Chain A
Amino acid sequence: MFNSRRSAEVLEQEFLPIRAKVLEVAAALDRLDRGAGSLASDARRAQIQAAIQILLRPDDDRAEQVQLIFSRQFRDDWREEFDI
């Protein structure tokens, strides 16, 4: 309803920004790998990997899914834990 643009038009506007951002991520990952030591035990490295996997899915809520990868879990029973 609030998005009447054609995808070709969106691509026209977004192609170069997407290309630039993908390149930035690729270069940053290379930079991580060039550093000394291992990140195998760092949860943030796994989060990045999981977020990249989401980009490859055909879903229409990838931004939301990526956000949730980087979010702490919500538990319904938090009030009991806090006694509130």
Chain B
Amino acid sequence: MYYIDPHIHMVSRTTDDYETLAKMGCVALSEPAFWAGYDRGSVDGFRDYFEQLIGFEPKRAGWYGIQHFCWLCINAKEAENVALAREVIAMIPQFLDRPGVLGIGEIGLNKNTKNEATVFLEHIDLAIRTDEQILIHTPHLEDKYQGTRMILDMLCDDGRVNRERVLVDHVEEHTVRHVLDEGFWAGMTLYPVSKCTPGRAADIVELYGPERLLVNSAGDWGPSKPTAVPDFILEMRRRGHSESLIRRVVYDNPVAFFSQSRNFVFNPPDVTEAAGV
């Protein structure tokens, strides 16, 4: 089955991973800007990183027929440095018209601090001023519930936010309902120890239906599995779910969400299969 991984950090993966993803049916992916494994010392570090996301990664993906898209921001971890964050936010508009840039992300909270919240609000303001979509990181483990509720408060407080153009990622059993009830898109991240497993993600689809739900691997520096979306597809099949339901979550939904971005120029791989004919 063709699928799209809407959240995967390919800068931290090898070219072999691109090849494996292609063999498993991945036709497109989107890569949110995130932490590089170290705190960058200046705004120029982010400029170079954005160039890598917009320039080299699509090339590497293209070697295997995968279409690469990305999101730009300063991540929540480095946003603790508010002065640096403001420099990065001021620079981002230079990149927003470049091919494949889908919006602002992954912004959010990490340890749910005041500085993180301040920078999150400034990113939201940037996205609204520039009419960009938003992709949001919710914190890990014990910080997730509190951080997700804070993020929803901030989004819902701002009447300018178009909720259909916002994806709140890394939802789990205790946060998914809050996100969907407020009208946002929700992403489930399949991760070996923290976050969701393929089985629990399938449970969430069974409980809430496929509307505005996405699954991703988040493949990054940590122990993570870039081929986790095919694991989810297999789990859904083992439970006897229809191909059209599975395709809705792993292909149609990402296309529907991304299509709201002006830079989402997508060449569907095989119109017959994608349309379910």
- Separation of A72 and B241 alpha carbons in the complex (Å): 35
A64 cross-chain contacts in B, Cβ below 8 A: 173-174
Say yes or no for B150: interface residue by CB 8 A criterion. yes
Say yes or no for B205: interface residue by CB 8 A criterion. yes
- Separation of A78 and B113 alpha carbons in the complex (Å): 10
A3 adjacent to B206 (CB under 8 Å): yes
B114 adjacent to A82 (CB under 8 Å): yes
Say yes or no for B118: interface residue by CB 8 A criterion. yes
Say yes or no for A31: interface residue by CB 8 A criterion. no
A72 adjacent to B143 (CB under 8 Å): yes
Give the residue among A67, A68, A79 with the most B Cβ atoms within 10 A.
A67
A71 adjacent to B174 (CB under 8 Å): yes
Say yes or no for A28: interface residue by CB 8 A criterion. no
Enumerate A4-22 residues with CB–CB distance to B below 8 Å.
Answer: 4-5, 13
Q: A1-B209, A2-B209 are in contact. Are A63 and B173 (CB under 8 A)?
A: yes
- Separation of A26 and B7 alpha carbons in the complex (Å): 35
Pick from A5, A61, A73, A84: contact of B146, CB under 8 Å = A73
A68 adjacent to B145 (CB under 8 Å): yes
B200 adjacent to A63 (CB under 8 Å): yes
Q: How far is the CB of A4 from chain B (nearest CB, A)?
A: 8
Enumerate B115-159 residues with CB–CB distance to A below 8 Å.
Answer: 117-118, 121, 141-146, 149-150, 153
Q: A5-B240, A74-B145 are in contact. Are A68 and B206 (CB under 8 A)?
A: no
B206 cross-chain contacts in A, Cβ below 8 A: 2-3
Interface of B is mostly: helix
Q: How far is the CB of A64 from chain B (nearest CB, A)?
A: 4
Q: How far is the CB of A43 from chain B (nearest CB, A)?
A: 10
Q: How far is the CB of A50 from chain B (nearest CB, A)?
A: 14
- Separation of A18 and B257 alpha carbons in the complex (Å): 36
Q: How far is the CB of B48 from chain A (nearest CB, A)?
A: 32
B239 cross-chain contacts in A, Cβ below 8 A: 5, 13
- Separation of A67 and B203 alpha carbons in the complex (Å): 15
Q: How far is the CB of A2 from chain B (nearest CB, A)?
A: 4
Q: Which residue in chain B gives the minimum CB-CB distance to A64?
A: B173
Q: A2-B209, A63-B203, A67-B174 are in contact. Are A84 and B142 (CB under 8 A)?
A: no
Binding site for B on A (CB under 8 A): 1-5, 13, 61, 63-64, 67-68, 70-74, 78-79, 82-84
Question: Ordered nearest first, which 9 A-B pairs have the shortest CB separation?
Answer: A67-B174, A71-B145, A3-B206, A64-B173, A63-B173, A74-B149, A82-B114, A2-B206, A74-B146
